Amino acid sequence: MKYQDEILKRRTFAIISHPDAGKTTLTEKLLLFGGAIQVAGAVKSNKIKKAATSDFMEIERQRGISVATSVMSFEYKDTLVNLLDTPGHKDFAEDTFRTLTAVDSVILVVDSVNGVEEQTRRLMQVCRMRKTPVIVFINKMDRDGKNRFDLLEEIEKELSISLHPMTWPINQGKDFKGVYDLHNKSLRLFTASTKATDEDTISIGDLSDSVLDQELGERDAATLREDVELIDGVYGELDPESYRSGDVAPVFFGSAVNNFGVKEMLDTFIRIAPEPQDRDTSARKVAVSEDKFSGFIFKIHANLDPKHRDRIAFLRVCSGKFERNKYFHHVRLNKDVRFSNPYTFLAREKSVVDDAYPGDVVGLFDTGNFKIGDTLTEGEDFFFTGIPTFSPEIFKEVVNKDPMKTKQLEKGLLQLTDEGVAQLFTQYGGNKKIIGCVGELQFEVIQYRLLHEYGASVVFNSLPFYKACWLTSTDPKKLEEFVRFKGSNVAEDKDGQLVYLAQSEWFLNTERTNNPEIEFHFTSEIH
C-alpha cells in the first residue's frame, strides 16, 4: 500500500445533533484539544444565530463565514482528524445528509434534557442507511435532565440502535459529580471549565475501594457500584467491530460547555473510529489503498457576492493521492481538469495544498463544472454511489414573470439545483417546472439568486403535495399505465427518473395498495 501511513493516520467524521444540543460547543472543545484554536468562543461564527432564522440573506452571510469552518482539521495524538461541519438549521438538512456521505463515522450529540429530537431521528436514519459508525455524546449532564437509564432506553428505541455505555454519570443537574470511565476504570470528578488533563482522573482498581466513598459520599458511591455492576453484567467490554459495522454505538456522558467528559470520548474516538474506508462505485468497489486517485464532490458552496460568482466544490479523496496542478478525469463531463489553487483547512487556516490523501477534503474553485455527486479519477469511468437524494417536503410551481428571460431562468434553475439548493422536477408530458425543498427558506434563496445572478424574475405557486416518491417497476407496462392514469401527479426529476407526487399519506398508501407491481421510493441515489 503506497500511502498506508497517511491513510491509517486519518479519521474523517462529522458531529450531528438537533439544533441547540451542543454541537458547536463540542466542536470547539475538540478543536481546543487538537490545538487548532487557542481560545474558547472561536467557533461561534460557525453557527446560524437564532435571530436570523427568518432572514435568509443573513443566514447566507453567516453560511459564507462558515465556509472556512466547513472542514476543520487538527492533529491529536499523531492522528489527523478531519471534522466536517454540518449546518444545524433544519432547512439545510439536505446539506447535512450529503456531508454524511463523505465521512467514515459520526458523533451524535443528544441533549440530556430533551432526549431524542426531530433532527436527531432524521440524521440517524441516514446513518443507519449507510451503516455509519456512531458514537453518542449525552450532553448537558450539569442540567436536570432525564433519568440516565430512561435516556438510554429512549435513544435505543427511537433510533433503532444498540448502545454501549463507555462512561457512567454520577447524578445529574446540580448534584452532578462526574463520570466513571468503564473502560479505564477511573473516576473523573466534575469541575466546571476543567482543562481535562490526565492528572484529574482518579484510578479505581476495585469498585469496593473506599476512595470511592471518600470522593462521592457513601450514598452515591453505593449507587455507582450498583449501576456499574448492572452495566458490566449487561454490556461487558465493547467489541470495536460491532461499532465499526454500525450495529452498536458507544455512549459517553458529559457537559460540553464545561469541557467535561469530552476528552474520554476523543481518546476513545482516536482508538476505535474507522480510518478512511473502501467505497462502492457504479463499476466496482474502490479500495482506499489503491495507488490511483479517486474522489467525489459532496457539497458545493456558492458565493452570494455578485462580484465573485465562483463557487467552492468540496471533494472527498477516496483513494490514491490528489495533487495540485495534475490533470484528473471528470467522469460526467468526460474531460480532464486540473486545479491550481486547491485548499485544505488545517488548523482552521485555509491554505493552498499540494497533495491530499484518502479521508481528506479539498476545496476546489469552480466556475460551474461541478454538480453534487461528480467523480474525479485518473482516467477510469465510474461514479461513487450511495449519495442519496431525499424526498422534498414542500413543492412549488415556478412561474416565469419575464418571458424574455426564459433561457436565463432555465440555466439558473439547472445550476442552482446542481448545487443542491433544491430539486427540480418537470411535470410529466408537460412543461411545468416544479421546485421541491425541505424548507421555505430555500424558495427565498432561489428567487433572490435567480434575479441577482441570472436576471430572471419568478414567483412560486404552492402545490398541494407532501412527498415525492421515485417510481420503479419490473413490469414496464404497468408503470406506463400508472403514469398515463396519474399524469398530473407524475413528474420527471433532472435525470429523467419518474416520480409520483403524493397529495397525502393516504393517497400514497392507496396507490401503493392498488399498484403492487410498482415500487415507491422515498430516496433516490444521485448515481
Nearest approach in angstroms of CB 416 to ligand G4P is 27
Q: In angstroms, give the least distance from the CB of 145 to ligand G4P.
A: 10
DSSP for 434-471, please give it.
Answer: EEEESSHHHHHHHHHHHHHHH---EEEEE----EEEEE
The whole-angstrom separation of Cα 172 and Cα 230 is 19
Nearer to ligand G4P, 84 or 353 (CB): 84
Nearer to ligand G4P, 64 or 386 (CB): 64
Q: Closer to ligand G4P at the Cβ: 152 or 262? A: 262
Instruction: Tell me whether residue 140 or residue 301 sits nearer to ligand G4P (CB atom).
Output: 140
CA distance 81 to 30: 10
Q: How many CA atoms lie within 13 A of 495 on its CB side?
A: 13
Q: What does the DSSP assignment read for 212-257?
A: HHHHH-HHHHHHHHHHHHHHHHHH-S--HHHHHTTSEEEEEE-BGG
Residue 173 makes CB contacts below 8 A (sequence gap 6+) with 142, 143, 144, 145
- The C-alpha cell at 343 is 485548499
Dihedral over alpha carbons 394, 60, 20, 85 (to 10 degrees): 100
Question: Which residues line the annotated binding site?
Answer: 17-24, 85-89, 139-142
Least Cβ distance, residue 139 to ligand G4P (angstroms)? 5
User: Least distance in Å: CB of 26 to ligand G4P?
Assistant: 7
Q: How far is the CB of 141 from ligand G4P (least distance, A)?
A: 7
Q: Which is nearer to ligand G4P, 23 or 329 (CB)?
A: 23
Binding-site annotation: residue ranges for GTP: 17-24, 85-89, 139-142
* CB nearer to ligand G4P: pick between 19 and 250: 19
Q: Shortest Cβ distance from residue 473 to ligand G4P (Å)?
A: 42
Q: Of 30 and 413, which CB lies nearer to ligand G4P in the complex structure?
A: 30
**In the chain, what is the greatest distance between 2 CA atoms, to the nearest angstrom?**
84
Going from the C-alpha of 390 to that of each of 14, 78, 458, 467, 520, the distances in angstroms are 19, 38, 25, 10, 13
Which residues of the shown chain bind ligand G4P in the complex (CB under 6 A)?
17, 19-25, 47, 88, 139-140, 142-143, 255-258
CB of 192 to ligand G4P, least distance (A): 10
The three-class DSSP label of residue 424 is strand
Contacts of 290 (CB under 8 A, 6+ apart): 319, 320
252 touches 135 (CB < 8 A): yes
CB 26 within 8 A of CB 86: no
